[in-house]
Structure formats: structure tokens, C-alpha cells
């Protein structure tokens, strides 16, 4: 389950939740540094056995270095925004997150480029059906 409203999740947990179920992975969605700073400290305190971060839609740089050093995140997934009014996703932002994952031995998945990908100062418009393929083609996923 992925959510941007991580602060409300506790209200929805079943009575027998305890420290979480083994088969449930909760993903906290953050799209920029401001939201990461607001949501991730709350997320860290919640009773989940498996915790992942999804940076989607990635609409600004996010420094996850300190979060990943504390070894409570299992995976980070990154994706750009899709649709006619999509905001750009800069490949440098994707790589910054990937590098933090590699340095801290955390799984990284580049899920999709989004509609507008900025790489090396050039903006690419990518059809929805090709966004996941282009992300895989980048070859930057990391599995420790």
C-alpha cells in the first residue's frame, strides 16, 4: 500500500496489527524535499515490518542520505509524473536518490520516466506506454 497521508494510516490499522503483518509493505509517497521532511519522520515511527519510499511523482530533488543511513527503509522507488500537464522530472534527481541507495545498500527501482524527462539539459517528451520501458532501459536499478 502506498500513501501520501502517512499520518492517517494508524487510524486505519486492524486491532491485531501489532508491529505489522509479514506480508504487508507500506510505501510512503514523497515528491520533493519538503514532503520528505514532513512525512518520513512520521513514517519512521509507525509499526510496519516492511517500509519503502516511493518518490512519485518526483517533482524536485530529494536528499535521502540521512534517512537511508538509519537502515529502516527496504526499498526506494522513483518515477516521474505522467499526463498532459506533467511537471518535469530531472534525471539528476533520480540519480541523486539512486546514489544514496547504493551508498546505503538499499534497493532502488526506477519505475518510470514520466512524460517530461530532463537529462543533460534537454527535455524529452515520452509517451505513457514507453515510460516504464525507458526507465528500465536506463539500467540504473539496484538490488543489494
pTM for the complete prediction? 0.94
Q: Is the pLDDT of residue 113 over 90?
A: yes
86 within a domain of the structure (yes/no)? yes
Q: Per the domain annotation, does 143 fall within a domain?
A: no
Q: pLDDT tens-digit profile of 1-58? A: 888 999 998 888 999 998 889 999 999 999 999 999 999 999 999 999 999 999 999 9
- Please indicate, yes or no, if residue 120 is contained in any of the structural domains: yes
Q: In angstroms, rounded to a whole number, what is the distance separating the alpha carbons of residues 99 and 96?
A: 5
Question: Among positive and negative, which fits the CA dihedral 71, 69, 94, 55?
Answer: positive
- Host domain of residue 33: 2-137
Contact between 108 and 78 (Cβ < 8 Å): yes
pLDDT at 134 over 90: yes
pLDDT at 36: 97
Predicted local confidence at residue 10, as pLDDT: 85
Give the model confidence (pLDDT) of 55-111 as tens digits: 999 999 999 999 999 999 999 999 999 999 999 999 999 999 999 999 999 999 999
Total of domains in the chain: 1
Three cell numbers, residue 21 = 503483518
Residue 86 preceded by cis peptide, ω within 30: no
Amino acid at each position: 500500500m502506498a500513501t501520501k497521508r502517512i499520518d492517517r494510516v494508524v487510524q486505519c490499522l486492524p486491532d491485531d496489527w501489532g508491529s505489522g503483518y509479514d506480508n504487508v509493505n507500506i510505501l510512503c509517497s514523497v515528491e520533493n524535499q519538503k514532503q520528505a521532511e514532513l512525512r518520513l519522520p512520521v513514517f519512521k515511527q509507525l509499526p510496519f515490518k516492511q517500509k519503502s519510499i516511493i518518490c512519485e511523482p518526483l517533482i524536485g530533488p530529494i536528499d535521502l542520505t540521512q534517512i537511508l543511513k538509519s537502515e529502516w527503509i527496504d526499498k526506494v522507488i522513483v518515477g516521474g509524473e505522467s499526463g498532459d500537464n506533467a511537471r518535469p522530472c530531472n534525471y539528476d534527481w533520480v540519480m541523486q536518490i539512486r546514489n544514496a541507495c547504493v551508498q546505503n545498500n538499499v534497493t532502488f527501482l526506477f519505475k518510470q520516466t514520466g512524460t517530461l524527462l530532463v537529462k543533460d539539459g534537454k527535455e524529452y517528451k515520452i509517451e505513457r506506454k514507453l515510460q516504464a520501458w525507458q526507465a528500465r532501459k536506463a539500467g540504473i536499478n539496484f538490488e543489494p
